[in-house]
Structure 1
């Protein structure tokens, strides 16, 4: 793609205009027509002045003819103004309509691409930076296409005035063209330097945005640890980091403006001086109207260059903003090189995950691994994953859902290996995580994510998650905004709200994964919630990471994890009778419970 920022932005807008591309071309043609009409304006006014001057040399002998000529040209002038708005007004309305849809298409496309990127990419890239890039790019595109007429008029005036001069005064046209080309070269050279600097400034802004995003989203930590004054210097350091580059950019901008102004001044002086000398040296009369017309066309060329220098700088900045978001598109394009989709057969009743191996490093640089994992999944069965923290339960659930990915795994149905392996499970699986993500919005939005929903389905999800008693005490029910003052949910209540959301969206899933989503819920409510889930989803395959062993008698089959391996599996009674790893965990829990009871009795 061209490095010219105007061409780059036009190309980008063309991509996202989609079905509105004919309207895009339409309003550009209308702008060209409006400027073609306005090209007559200097000539018309010049003719009025010439009429007065010629009549004055004749001592205004024919007043009626002079009045007729003046009124005629003034009427033509009036028609140019009306003609201009006949094209300009509708074109502006169409332009803003197209700009709106370009913004909508761009933002929706970027949102889709971001959500399709794997979890590992999100772990390695700061959300604050990604948000800042998308917002900057969206604003830049909107500003450019809201005001395309400025770029169009600048080009049409420049080219139109140049054509008029070349047709009626070839020498003046040649001189102005030569100097104009010099000005363009100066502007391009400076803006190429500025473009690279703008990209660097954007990087500084991205790092600042990520810091501010972190501090604000974790404001409770900042306040409770009294970090307000400690984090401010870091924010200021990031804000001031680009100061030297910022000052250097300002120097370049002012030098560019100075050289542009001087070049345009040279053009006006040389052309008008030549015209005056050529006219007077041949004994001709120097008509004021013609002199004014020539000056006005030169002024338009000059103004076009002033506008060009100003607009090109702004457009360069806008192009840099849009291009900064291309890293997100590139990441998506790299991932989307193999877009083949895999699904489970519709009539599946059981599948087996075989020979799964996986190693990864988390955000704290701790290594995790799964080795030689074999798990049998059956529709209508409830499966429990048991083990201490870090044993691999959550990692396997994330692989089944597709939050993480490994090539080292097989998926078999009736002994036949399925192409795509774990990818076959991604499209029919819902994962309910342990850590609830609660949004500063209404209870309804936190459950439905703004998706249109049947009220009965929403209420049923709330009931199953045991959130109904919490909802009853909220002032506005489902429309209660969590961000409002006085609305405080405990950790367990937040988990139940997030669980209601998971239940609501799991209705069309064939495999439901539970990664200890009730870890902060009291034991009584937790037991009822699991009973509700197992009853409601009895036709699905349910897999749950279980830390509280009192829930295990509700599951059909248990896999026991230890250090990334499955060390035993079977039903609860069989495993307890084996006196293996599960029995060890079970006895430990019993001992801890007994010790607690002794302390209470004392």
Structure 2
């Protein structure tokens, strides 16, 4: 398990380049219509938003002070009203038209981005989940469920804020800033330079802010993953927490994880709190400066020798309006930068998963494994886990179709690893695993695993009904389900339940006993009718009476199938056609039960432990067992 102090994605995130560009490049092309509508609306709408200030200046100079003629660009003079009331009504009509069109365009932009954001968020979540399903088991051994859940939920949800109009808002800001700058420079470039004087300072402050908060938001996302993992672990193990009366201890640990997350978030928010007011102050000083220079110019003439010409009251009012109007985009730009850094940290985590290498690649030319007979061969197989731990060395054996093979040995001897290689959860380091003479690496993963049934010692049931768990992933009839449960010795207890097959099993099947869960798992495998079967300690956690029922179910299940039975309880494999005894990743003994007992080797000693004949155990066996336990 990774250190809870660390963000498990921290190293990989450093290698993710331009995550936001990748996000848009990957998904924007899927929804061109709403994106194009939204972009067009975000370009035209801010341009219309510049009109009211210009119309106000036109009305002041042309109607109230009459310092300049009342004129409209591209409109012939003879088409304008001749009377002052007519010109006033025309100006009001233009105001209303501008605001009406702006409202419609704003709605179109919001609609387009909302459609885009919701669809991309859905696609992104399902794509990330599909990628996670395709990753090898070593990925999950190094990751905590809560951390992965935080990517699928919190990080993907956070991206919705970026997708839902962030680009449109940025475009809106750029259009407003460029449009306002162009109008002011075209009207009076000297006063425009005064009005635009705060812009370089705003840019410098924004750059400093982004540089400061970027690592803080990365840290905040990492601490959230730690918190989610802690909560997921505690809630999953709530029975252990309660049985050990460790509620205060776990509360302290959750409080500590939450405190670290809060501290990380507060570090970034503290700078955000400073950033917004600072932008407001800079823009306010810019407004005051325009009022001072423009007002002085109107009342007393050019305030400095470098200025020349005249300025009307309407022009000063328009510049003040634009100065106030540009303050919004500038402040909004700061907030967008703030949000961008937060979202970027989430996007990096998402793309870490997208870029994570698939450790069990499927050959593009892989064939379907069909008409499986069930012969399995391990040929000189050696295997080491990704962390370097050597698990198997030069293992070779062949299992004929329909044969039952027991796999026994001390804990860590390699029994489960053999079956993981057969299922191709991992690939061999050396040698070959073959089914019906075909290397498992040369067939599709789906067809390989579809031909293998797996019953574990702790069967996993999904939240839902008994019926849904038995039929898991298959479109089958109730009669087929009942047939499977009858063969699995499960139909009786199911019908005794109040809701029968529609009984909710609870999280992980917690509403059922271990034996009931096990028989449902057996029925689930029977329904799929695999040619090869793996039984992993299938009766290790049940009482003797339930073991008899399950063993009857297993006899039905293993009939005419190639079966591998991993067992610590040796009584479950004494009737196997052959038993393979593993120790330290090697097969040290093989043969049927009685033959192995007669050799007086490891299997015989394990059997003595099972039947309670501890006094006849050699001292070397106990010493070796203690050494293995320490290792």
- Give the TM bin, normalised by the shorter chain: 0.7 to 0.9
Determine which of 123, 129, 133 is the counterpart of 2:151: 133
Specify the SS of the correspondent of 2:380: strand
CA drift at 1:375: 2.4
Q: CA deviation at 1:567?
A: 3.2
Mapped pair 1:84 → 2:88? no
Residues 7/70 of structure 1: CA separation in 2 closer, same or farther (3 Å cut):
farther
Deviations 1:517-557 (A, max 9, x none): 3333423212221122124xx3x533222445555476444
Q: Distance in 1 between matches of 2:326 and 2:116?
A: 29
- C-alpha separation between the residues in 1 aligned to 2:433 and 2:506? 44
Aligned residues of 2:457 and 2:537 also touching (Cα < 8 A) = yes
Residues 82 and 463 of structure 1, relative CA distance in 2, 3 Å threshold: farther
The question of whether the paired residues in 2 share the 8 Å contact of 1:560 and 1:567 is answered with yes
Within the candidate set 106, 112, 123, 1:105 is matched to 123
SS of 1:241's equivalent? helix
Does residue 403 (structure 1) correspond to residue 414 (structure 2)? The answer is no
- Using the alignment, how far apart are the partners of 1:7 and 1:563 within structure 2? 47
Match in the other structure for 1:167:
186
The question of whether the paired residues in 1 share the 8 Å contact of 2:597 and 2:604 is answered with yes
Q: Indicate which of 545, 549, 553 corresponds to 1:525.
A: 549
449-458 or 494-503, which deviates more: 449-458
The secondary structure found in structure 2 opposite 1:384 is: strand
Match of 1:35 in 2: 46
- The answer on 1:320 being equivalent to 2:348 is no
How far, CA to CA, are the matches of 2:200 and 2:362 in structure 1?
A: 47
| Alignment correspondent of 1:468 | 491
The 1:345/1:324 distance shift into structure 2, 3 A limit, reads closer
Residues 519, 550 of structure 2: 8 Å contact kept: no
1:497 has 2:516 as partner: no
Aligned-pair CA distance for 1:447: 3.8
Report the Cα distance in structure 2 between the residues aligned to 1:413 and 1:500, rounded to whole angstroms.
24
SS at match of 1:436: coil
Q: For structure 1, which segment, 164-173 or 110-119, has the greater mean C-alpha deviation from structure 2 after superposition? A: 164-173
Per the TM alignment, residue 430 of structure 1 is displaced from its structure 2 partner at its CA by 4.0
Return the alpha-carbon distance in structure 2 between the equivalents of residues 246 and 142 of structure 1: 19
Q: Output the TM-score relative to the length of structure 2.
A: 0.79
Distance 1:451 1:300, change over 3 A: farther
Which of 371, 380, 387 lines up with 1:355 in the alignment? 380
Equivalent pairs, count:
577
- Residue 596 (structure 1) aligns with: none
Once residues 359 and 197 of structure 2 are traced to their aligned partners in structure 1, the CA distance between those partners, rounded to angstroms, is 49
Task: Output one character per residue of 1:487-506: Cα deviation in whole Å (capped at 9) or x when no partner.
Answer: 732222222233334444x4
Does residue 193 (structure 1) correspond to residue 216 (structure 2)? The answer is no
Deviation at 1:138, TM superposition (A): 0.6
Superposition TM-score, scaled by structure 1 size: 0.83
Q: Contact (CA 8 Å) 2:395, 2:586: kept in 1 or not?
A: yes
Q: Structure 1 residues 6, 562: CA separation in 2 closer, same or farther (over 3 Å shift)? A: closer
Are 2:358 and 1:297 aligned? no
Structure 1, unpaired ranges of 5+:
594-602
Q: 1:515 aligns with which of 524, 527, 536?
A: 536
What is the correspondence of 1:217-256 to structure 2 with a 5 Å cutoff? 217-241=236-260, 245-256=264-275
Return the alpha-carbon distance in structure 1 between the equivalents of residues 116 and 481 of structure 2: 37
1:534 aligns with 2:552: no
CA distance 1:124–1:93, shift in 2 (3 Å)? same
Measured against aligned partners, the alpha-carbon deviations of 1:3-26 in whole angstroms (never above 9, x if no partner) come to: 9x9974354134134521443233
Match of 1:16 in 2: 27
In the alignment, which residue of structure 1 is the partner of 2:564? 543
For 1:123 and 1:272, locate their aligned partners in 2 and report how far apart those are by CA, in whole Å: 65
Alignment CA distance shift 1:344-1:19 (3 Å): closer
Determine the C-alpha separation between the residues in 1 that align with 2:234 and 2:318. 61
Give the corresponding residue for 1:46: 57
Partners of 1:21 and 1:452 in 2: how far apart? 37
Contact 1:409 1:422 in 2 (8 A): no
Which deviations, in whole Å up to 9, do the C-alpha atoms of 1:200-249 show, x marking residues without a partner? 12222222222222111100011111111122122222222356655543
Are the counterparts in 1 of residues 37 and 108 from structure 2 also a CA contact under 8 Å? Answer: no
CA RMSD of aligned residues (A): 3.9
Distance 2:444 2:97 in 1: 71
Gaps of 5+ in 2: 1-12, 70-80, 303-307, 615-631
Judged with a 3 Å threshold, the aligned counterparts in structure 2 of structure 1 residues 356 and 91 are, in CA distance, closer, same or farther, namely same
1:243-282 equivalences in 2 (<5 Å): 245-280=264-299, 281=301
